[in-house]
Amino acid sequence: MSQDSFIRRYVFSTDHKIIGIQYILTGFAMALVGAWLSVLIRLQLAWPLRLWPWLETLMPNGYLGGVMAPEFYVALVTMHGTIMVFFFISYVLVSGFGNYLVPLQIGARDMAFPFLNMLSYWIALLSALVMLASFLVEGGAAAAGWTAYPPLSAVASAMPGSGLGQSVWLLSMALFIASFTMSGLNIVATVFTLRAPGMSMWRLPLTIWSYFISAILGLLAFPPLTAAAIMLLFDRHLGTSFFLPGGMVVANQVLEHQGGSPLLWQHLFWFLGHPEVYVLILPALGIAADIMPVFTRKPLFGYRISVWSLIGVGVLSMIVWGHHMFVSGMSPFTGEYFSLATMLITIPMAVYGVNMMASLWGGTMRLTTPMLFALGALAFFGTGGFGGIFLGNATADMQLHDTYFVVGHFHLMIGGVTLLGTFAAVYFWFPKMFGRLMSPVLGRIHFWGTFAPFFTIFFAQHFLGLQGMPRRYYAFSTYEYLEGTQSQNVIITVVVLVLVAVQFVFAFNFVWSLLRGATASENPWEATTLEWTVASPPPHGNFGDAAPDVHRWAYEYSAEGQSSDYAPQTVTSSDVPVTA
């Protein structure tokens, strides 16, 4: 009886599909908050020191006297970064679609540890709520940046956000890491142990490979941040000096700390931080690459090379973290090493990108909404990756570090590729998740209203950076050399408002299609992977009693001499010859 109750099925469910959808909805709710924070940031940058009486009524602490408080600005920057990286992209793209897709695409009934999976979601939700609550504590939310560099993050009296806000931030991150670790363990164990008969590793769709590698990276990279966070808590509350050097003066008082190293935090943080960007971007690339063959009706180009590229990127991503620290007084020889390692990573990434482009070559392209978003992700990947070549070189980075060039670069990559990849995934799998089709017209409006503004904003920011505009500054009105950037900032802010407004088209399309969309068939895109061989939405347990038998790879399109132009992975070799 309890099996069928509403709460058991849709709230405290151990079904990976429900948990995936829960993650996705939670992540989108957090994205609304993150987007709202970015609007506030942009209003300040376009019209610094302007009076906003209506914002004061809304947020009296942030807008004392109607003008944005500088402390509030840094808290906004911190929380925008934290929420978008950890609570939007991680939840929707990694945990959300990861949960939904991994069992379905490998032919399993559920994840390896369903209960752990449910626990992971509820801890994740708690973590998000704790993070939001930090806006309400005394002194406001954390303000030391999403990287939480000491001393700002370590000395409670350093600034208002360094007090309770930073403690709450650390608590939320601890919960997040616990939840993300559970989720990662589950994905790796599921791929290892629950593949359907015939589903060898070399028949896994790239999507699954990307989740698999991303989960392993997360498992290896997060513990050093945990260690660092424990030491930071000791520095904050128990008077130790892991990260705090001697002779620091805060509020006219010399602190008792001595001998610690703020750079130690930076190393530990970026040992996580760099792999983390690959944890986020790899699934987007896997999904984009998998969507392309469906809408070009030809096999993916260079499947095995792409898998090896993903593995290579995963390995290299663990040894390049120092490129975030070129200006930290690092030895030039160390800098040279990190530059070289970073340049190396462009090789597998470029191979992967070229394989995606080659997959398009000569295909009969169908520009559906998911395809548009997948192509957009590829475009951002190319442009953003180009900026990375500049930043990866220590010599160029000395100039560009902490300018808007960096902001533009990482927004195109970890913001843009992942955002477009996420939308591609939503439009592509929405019919499977809810059994209904989304409106293609609204989808097109959403795509162009997202792609063009996003590119305008962040491509332009590269040039702000080249003009020397530093990031994290509250106002630029006192810098003569930056006077010329003012009008550019106004344009960017206007475009941001357009970008945010267009997202409501997506929200409307999502809700409207959920209620009124046309009914989707089992396989509306005529795709080959296993999830399209079951009903939309798939029943509890996905495949019924018998696991599906897999006979081929996931990219059997337009095989010669066949009546149908595609063969799902379950079609036997006697029916359609197996090409891989």
Partner 1 sequence: MTEIDASVTTPLAMGRTDVRSTREDRRRREQTQLGLWMFLGTVTMLFAAFTSAYLVRRGSIDWQSIVLPAALWVNTAALAASSVTLEGSRWAGRSGRVGPARLGMAATIVLGAGFFVGQVGVWQTLAAQGVFVPTSPHASFFYVLTGVHLVHLLVGLVLLVNALRSLAARGAGAIERAWDGPAATAATFWHFFGGVWLYLFFLLSSF
Of positions 23, 97, 169, 222, contacts partner 1 by CB under 8 A = 222
Name every residue whose Cβ is closer than 8 Å to that of residue 535 and which is 6 or more positions away in sequence. Answer: 435, 522
**Distance in Å from the first CA to the final CA of the chain:** 46
Torsion of CA 520, 525, 530, 534, to 10 degrees: 20
280, 292 contact by CB (below 8 A): no
Structure tokens at 522: 């089992």
Q: Which of 191, 143, 189, 187 is nearest to 167 (CA)?
A: 143
Task: Please choose, out of 215-223, 334-342, 502-510, 561-569, the segment that lies near partner 1 by the rule CB under 8 A.
Answer: 215-223
Residue with tokens 């995934």: 425
CB of 124 to partner 1, least distance (A): 17
Which residue, 192 or 386, has its beta carbon nearer to partner 1?
A: 192
Structure tokens at 478: 């006192």
CB of 221 to partner 1, least distance (A): 8
Q: Is 57 in the site for partner 1 (CB under 8 A)?
A: no
Which residue, 223 or 440, has its beta carbon nearer to partner 1?
A: 223
Name every residue whose Cβ is closer than 8 Å to that of residue 177 and which is 6 or more positions away in sequence. Answer: 222, 225, 226, 229
Site string for partner 1, 514-553 (x = CB under 8 A): ----------------------------------------
CB of 192 to partner 1, least distance (A): 6
- Integer CA distances (angstroms), 342 to 56, 316, 318, 320, 402, in order: 45, 8, 10, 6, 18
Which residue, 309 or 570, has its beta carbon nearer to partner 1?
A: 570
Which residue, 245 or 440, has its beta carbon nearer to partner 1?
A: 245
Which residue, 227 or 347, has its beta carbon nearer to partner 1?
A: 227
Site for partner 1 in 250-279 (CB under 8 A): 258-261, 264, 267-268, 271
Q: Is 51 in the site for partner 1 (CB under 8 A)?
A: no
Site for partner 1 in 98-117 (CB under 8 A): 112-113, 116
Alpha-helix residue ranges (DSSP H) falling in 243-328: 262-296, 303-317
Of positions 49, 51, 230, 357, contacts partner 1 by CB under 8 A = 230
Type of residue at 435: G
CB of 568 to partner 1, least distance (A): 20
Q: Is 224 in the site for partner 1 (CB under 8 A)?
A: yes
Which residue, 9 or 267, has its beta carbon nearer to partner 1?
A: 267
Q: Is 66 in the site for partner 1 (CB under 8 A)?
A: no
Which residue, 334 or 399, has its beta carbon nearer to partner 1?
A: 334
Torsion of CA 306, 310, 312, 314, to 10 degrees: 180
Q: Is 196 in the site for partner 1 (CB under 8 A)?
A: no
Q: Is 315 in the site for partner 1 (CB under 8 A)?
A: no
Which residue, 238 or 515, has its beta carbon nearer to partner 1?
A: 238
Q: Is 459 in the site for partner 1 (CB under 8 A)?
A: no
Residue 253 — φ and ψ, nearest 5°? -125, 135
Q: Is 197 in the site for partner 1 (CB under 8 A)?
A: yes
155, 240 contact by CB (below 8 A): no
Q: Where are the beta strands (DSSP E) in 521-573?
A: none
Name every residue whose Cβ is closer than 8 Å to that of residue 446 and which is 6 or more positions away in sequence. Answer: 369, 423, 502, 503, 505, 506, 509
Of positions 14, 134, 241, 403, contacts partner 1 by CB under 8 A = 241
Task: Please choose, out of 17-25, 145-153, 233-241, 295-303, the segment that lies near partner 1 by the rule CB under 8 A.
Answer: 233-241
Of positions 1, 7, 238, 251, contacts partner 1 by CB under 8 A = 238
Structure tokens at 232: 């930071």
Strand partners, 557: 566
- Integer CA distances (angstroms), 575 to 181, 483, 529, 564, in order: 42, 69, 17, 11
316, 362 contact by CB (below 8 A): no
Q: Is 193 in the site for partner 1 (CB under 8 A)?
A: yes
Alpha-carbon distance of 391 to 409, in angstroms, equals 9
Query: 3-class SS at 538?
Result: coil
Of positions 39, 137, 189, 277, contacts partner 1 by CB under 8 A = 189
CB of 318 to partner 1, least distance (A): 10
Residue with tokens 């001499």: 561
Size of the site for partner 1 (CB under 8 A): 37
| Residues in contact with partner 1 by the rule CB under 8 A | 112-113, 116, 181, 185-186, 188-189, 192-193, 197, 219-224, 226-228, 230-231, 234, 238-242, 246, 258-261, 264, 267-268, 271
